[in-house]
Amino acid sequence: MAEWRNPVSQRNSLYNAYVPSSKTYYVYIMANQSRTLYVGFTDNIKRRVQQHKAGLTEGFAHRYNIDTLIYVESFGDVWSAIAREKLIKRWRREKKLRLIAKEKPEWRDLSDGWYD
């Protein structure tokens, strides 16, 4: 599998040079017990996962009870994170499963212990 390269455009790179970022942005994959996958983007992973677990999300994630964090990547700039989310969302399920298996083959909830 080819290494992922950041497709951020020249325009966005110039923007990032002038707008300092102290934030971290996350692209994540969550699943339910049936292993239905959901790909998302956030600037606060703990808050977002808690929203999923509490059923506070709307649409697909709520309808399919998406509540288990199984994969996460962090980024220092918003444009890279958005580009990566869009890229992963376009992938077929099999490719997403390979990404998860490469990093976290055991499919354990990465947020275990966050809210104790």
How do residues 57-96 score in pLDDT, each as one tens digit? 999 999 999 999 999 999 999 999 999 999 999 999 999 9
pLDDT at 10 over 50: no
Name the pTM for this structure: 0.81
- Flag whether 99 is in a domain: yes
CATH code of the domain covering residue 76: 3.40.1440.10
Which amino acid belongs to residue 94? E
Does residue 13 fall inside a structural domain? no
In the sheet that holds 25-31, the strands lie side by side as 37-42, 25-31, 68-75
Q: Is residue 7 part of a domain?
A: no
Per the structure, the count of domains in the chain is 1
